[in-house]
Structure 1
Amino acid sequence: MTARQPVVVVGDALLDQDVTGEATRLAPDAPVPVVEVAEERCRPGGAGLAAALAARDGREVVLVTALGGDPASESVRAMLPAGVRLAELPLDGSLPVKSRVLAGGRPLVRVDRGGGSAGPPGAGVRRVLEEARAILVADYGQGAVSAVRRSLTEAARRVPVVWDPHPRGRPPVAGARLVTPNAREARWFCGERDRDGDDSLRAHSRRGALLAERWQVGSVAITLGCRGAVLARANCDDPLYVPVTAGHDGDPCGAGDCFAASATGVLADGGLPPEAVGLATEAATSFIAGGGMASLTSWREGRERREPPPPAPVGAGDVGALVESVRARGGTVVAAGGCFDLLHAGHVQFLENARRTGDCLIVCVNSDDSVRRLKGPGRPFNPAADRIRVLAGLGCVDAVAVFDEDTPEPLLRRLRPDVWVKGGDYSVRDLPEAAALREWGGQTLVLPYLDGRSTTELARRAAYASP
């Protein structure tokens, strides 16, 4: 990819305020917690936050937003990083202020006040949009995006446009390269008012494809928090699932803005949507692990990070009993397959990512005869008993099952998993077992292996190194 290209961020800026403290008692006049305030912090919010995040890697950023002469507008102007240049729309009214009260790091209440309407763009704003090489739209429904919508429609025909939507905002312009709602927003846009609706990867993929078709955009990435993201296109039943490589506890506020800003940067530099979503997922996870919004206000180097605890070991156990147990509590059964002859880092990452897609992972392993027919004489290097023992020792593996056929299809028909995961450069359409999964409503996913790791390469190097 080329050097970092400049990005234009368009949308509604806000002033975010966090009031933090501890709550150890209830108020005597009402059953509400009393917060002993320890600190108050302010920062740019909305499109202002997206612009600040986009500029964190030294990228040149222009923020097109509505600001006035009120104190909140002046505060946002003063707090924007040096790498963010303003192209202002007139603001009739005051800038919205969003205040959160947190106790013990957890939000208790949010108070919103203020608000105004954006005026028409001047020549300077129009020139910025005409010369933009990539645009991120953060539409919070305050009018800034509506004021320049015609220019955004024209821009989407020639440069990457990433649209971070909000239920109060307008739909994305046709031709946008990538739209990034979170799971709750995607349900809302699809007309689902049940906050506890279908949370399966299949449902999120269906929503993404539906929205991509309805909005006439290139692709839709639905962010799923600690589960990663699903990238879908219109009229395509081959979605891409991007899991997180490591989960982290922390305040998720701002993670969506970080995701959208990172994806825009990748597209601006010439990347494709799958690459953009993969890198954006990693960036959002790292943002939370590094302290989230607190890291933007303190700018402290070497901030202590809390690493996730190692996964607890789980015995393989009886496969049938495991499936029944998981299904009885409404969980998702995931199966993954392969020879796993010489287990390497690529296999481990693949299995860890597969486990994150559901509530248990069953590894379907080719028998020795099956491997021999598939790979040729001299394979497998390790007998099935050894391969099973190594796989069962991984914390992400709940059970191991062996199949003797050329494909795992007969075993899958017995297990009937909710999700079947395969690793490598396959397409879902190329997998013969995908048709079987559809018979009982299962979903097939393809996850990439770690680049540069393969059993064949390990064997070649070992043979070359031997005396």
Structure 2
Amino acid sequence: MTEDQIQDFMEMLPQLRTLVVGDLMLDEYLWGKTGRISPEAPVPVVDISQDDLRLGGAGNVVNNLRALGCQVQVCSVLGDDADGRHLLQQLEQAGVNVDGALFDVDRKTSRKTRILASNQQMLRIDRESRQPLGQEMEKQLVAEIVARLDSADVVFLSDYGKGVLTDHVLSCVLQAGRKRGVPVVVDPKGVDYRRYRGATLLTPNRSEASEASGVKIEDSASLAAAGKTLLELADLDALVLTRSEEGMSLFLRQGDQIDLPTRAQEVFDVSGAGDTVLALVGIGLAAKLSLKQAATIANIAAGIVVGKVGTSTVSCREIMQAVSQNGLPEENKIQAAQDLSDILNHARNHGKKVVFTNGCFDLLHAGHVSYLQRARDLGDVLVVGLNTDQSVQRLKGPSRPLVHEEDRAFVMAALACVSYVVLFEEDTPLELIKLLRPDVLVKGADYTPETVVGRVEVESWGGSVELIEFIQGRSTTKIVERILSKS
């Protein structure tokens, strides 16, 4: 996935129509100081200096979606009380369509009050109803949800176990979503994930996944076992298992597992990161991204959120800034030839100049890096064609390469100046050049223009050939000779 594709995705977000269903609640924070013990009981006295009342529960998903500019409507059941009316008012002020929210005189709107002193949470007070909805209220809620499915690009089910997402409500929504082809993504609760059978995707954290699968996640093998178990148990298209500071893992129905390490520079607070992941994966699917692409963007966003203190959201600007500053993950830079052709066509359509060079790049050294940096300066996107191990052996002899192709590709992709890496089996990159159609073809100055493979083809479509001087005395062969002479 390219930076341009991520930008295109961000520009689509204001057109995406989202529906959030689940347990809405209020999060109240009381900040103060404590320095004395109550004379009434051996407990600290907190002098409150600041208070804040925020959307919580499913409201965290709403906050994330609105921060990204998406259209949001909600369906839920609130208590017919002051907190319920205040919650609805906050949603309306955030630009959320609340026509699908219902009031129930037999319920109490959830409010969680946290008392903090010296940046430490001292106490939490919960005021809420946890009993499942009655049959009549279930019927009304299902009707509200189904009526809005045709005007939704994606449905989010945010389950906090407070009784709104009953088995009946879940069954009706999941069946209706499947029937209409609307993706339904779920933040699950509890240990019985069979309740969510038919969902497109679930986003449990490591602890939740361990409990629901019955597999204690301790290493890569147990992680894979837990992911496979939950995929089958809930009949999912995919599972995104978040792993705090270790990033996340994407499990696909066909058996693939993709591990995405955290993109965070610093990890301060993981609270709320799950809602960010849920929001980004869901709208990625709504925008017709692949599951891997959606998870990649979600992972970038989560890396930003965990670098903030408290339950936070992320903006499009922050995501693009992170991509611009840190680049895309190395695994996204290593592409198959045909996939890369599509990516480069997209880049050219956005006015980008594509530069291509190739080589074995065995034992990457300063001469290589200088050469690649100067090649990147000739355009906007630098593609490096890398000879496979078999190709290198034919060109350099049976003792080469010293570094296997997977490692050479990974190291090459880690360079900031390199946009993409593609492996090729042939002795020359001619067929690859004809497929990728670069605007600039770069080789070392030890070539002449007439001896550069692909020159005729590149010039035929209006491109150019550039020759770059190498740093004298820097070569893989000389490095190997120096190592052997000292051994």
**1:137 aligns to 2:139 (yes or no):** no
Match of 1:18 in 2: 29
Residues 58/455 of structure 1: CA separation in 2 closer, same or farther (3 Å cut): closer
Q: Give the Cα–Cα distance (whole angstroms) in 2 for the partners of residues 449 and 179 of structure 1.
A: 34
Residues 169/74 of structure 1: CA separation in 2 closer, same or farther (3 Å cut): farther
Q: Give the Cα–Cα distance (whole angstroms) in 2 for the partners of residues 376 and 454 of structure 1.
A: 21
Match of 1:43 in 2: 54
Match of 2:231 in 1: 212
Structure 2 counterparts to residues 131-280 of structure 1, below 5 A: 131-146=151-166, 148-149=169-170, 150-157=172-179, 158-167=181-190, 171-191=194-214, 197-234=216-253, 236=255, 238-280=256-298
**Maintained 8 Å contact 2:272/2:312:** no
Match of 1:74 in 2: 85
**Maintained 8 Å contact 1:100/1:107:** yes
CA shift for structure 1 position 243: 1.0
Q: Give the Cα–Cα distance (whole angstroms) in 2 for the partners of residues 90 and 114 of structure 1.
A: 14
Q: Give the Cα–Cα distance (whole angstroms) in 2 for the partners of residues 172 and 272 of structure 1.
A: 25
**Maintained 8 Å contact 1:153/1:174:** no
Residues 151/35 of structure 1: CA separation in 2 closer, same or farther (3 Å cut): same
Match of 1:452 in 2: 419
**1:98 aligns to 2:112 (yes or no):** yes
**Match among 69, 79, 96 for residue 84 of structure 1:** 96
**Maintained 8 Å contact 1:18/1:42:** yes
**Maintained 8 Å contact 1:17/1:99:** yes
CA shift for structure 1 position 58: 1.4
CA shift for structure 1 position 66: 0.8
Q: Give the Cα–Cα distance (whole angstroms) in 2 for the partners of residues 344 and 171 of structure 1.
A: 53
Residues 216/371 of structure 1: CA separation in 2 closer, same or farther (3 Å cut): closer
Residues 260/462 of structure 1: CA separation in 2 closer, same or farther (3 Å cut): farther
Identify which range, 169-178 or 76-85, moves more after superposition: 169-178
Letter in 2 for 1:109: L
**Match among 126, 138, 142 for residue 112 of structure 1:** 126
Q: Give the Cα–Cα distance (whole angstroms) in 2 for the partners of residues 223 and 168 of structure 1.
A: 16
Q: Secondary structure at the match of 1:187?
A: helix
Q: Secondary structure at the match of 1:110?
A: strand
Q: Which structure has the highest helix share of the two?
A: 2
Query: Number of matched residues?
Result: 347
Q: Give the Cα–Cα distance (whole angstroms) in 2 for the partners of residues 294 and 19 of structure 1.
A: 17
Match of 1:281 in 2: 299
Residues 295/58 of structure 1: CA separation in 2 closer, same or farther (3 Å cut): closer
Residues 453/27 of structure 1: CA separation in 2 closer, same or farther (3 Å cut): farther
Match of 2:468 in 1: 466
Q: Give the Cα–Cα distance (whole angstroms) in 2 for the partners of residues 102 and 168 of structure 1.
A: 31
**Maintained 8 Å contact 2:61/2:276:** yes
Match of 2:75 in 1: 64
Q: Give the Cα–Cα distance (whole angstroms) in 2 for the partners of residues 27 and 294 of structure 1.
A: 34
CA shift for structure 1 position 103: 3.5
CA shift for structure 1 position 144: 2.1
Q: Which runs of 5+ in 1 are unaligned?
A: 303-337, 348-369, 380-402, 410-420, 426-446
CA shift for structure 1 position 404: 7.6
Match of 2:430 in 1: none
Q: Give the Cα–Cα distance (whole angstroms) in 1 for the partners of residues 184 and 369 of structure 2.
A: 39
Q: What percent of counterpart residues are identical?
A: 25
**Match among 308, 311, 315 for residue 293 of structure 1:** 311
Q: Give the Cα–Cα distance (whole angstroms) in 2 for the partners of residues 340 and 27 of structure 1.
A: 69
Q: Secondary structure at the match of 2:306?
A: helix
Q: Give the Cα–Cα distance (whole angstroms) in 1 for the partners of residues 444 and 124 of structure 2.
A: 60
**Maintained 8 Å contact 2:33/2:118:** yes
**Maintained 8 Å contact 2:17/2:154:** yes
Letter in 2 for 1:115: S
Q: Give the Cα–Cα distance (whole angstroms) in 2 for the partners of residues 190 and 57 of structure 1.
A: 33
Residues 295/110 of structure 1: CA separation in 2 closer, same or farther (3 Å cut): same
Residues 449/17 of structure 1: CA separation in 2 closer, same or farther (3 Å cut): farther
| TM-score between the two structures when normalised by the length of structure 2 | 0.61
CA shift for structure 1 position 257: 0.9
Match of 2:145 in 1: 125
| TM-score between the two structures when normalised by the length of structure 1 | 0.63
CA shift for structure 1 position 228: 0.6
Letter in 1 for 2:237: G
CA shift for structure 1 position 131: 3.6
Q: Secondary structure at the match of 1:88?
A: strand
Q: Secondary structure at the match of 1:207?
A: helix
Q: Secondary structure at the match of 1:199?
A: coil
Structure 2 counterparts to residues 355-434 of structure 1, below 5 A: 374=392, 377=395
Q: Secondary structure at the match of 2:165?
A: helix
Q: Give the Cα–Cα distance (whole angstroms) in 2 for the partners of residues 202 and 223 of structure 1.
A: 16
Q: Deviations over 1:91-138 (max 9, x none)?
A: 331111112233443433322122165422434433113442211110
Match of 1:434 in 2: none
**Maintained 8 Å contact 1:209/1:235:** no
- When Rg is computed on C-alpha atoms for both structures, the one with the higher figure is 2
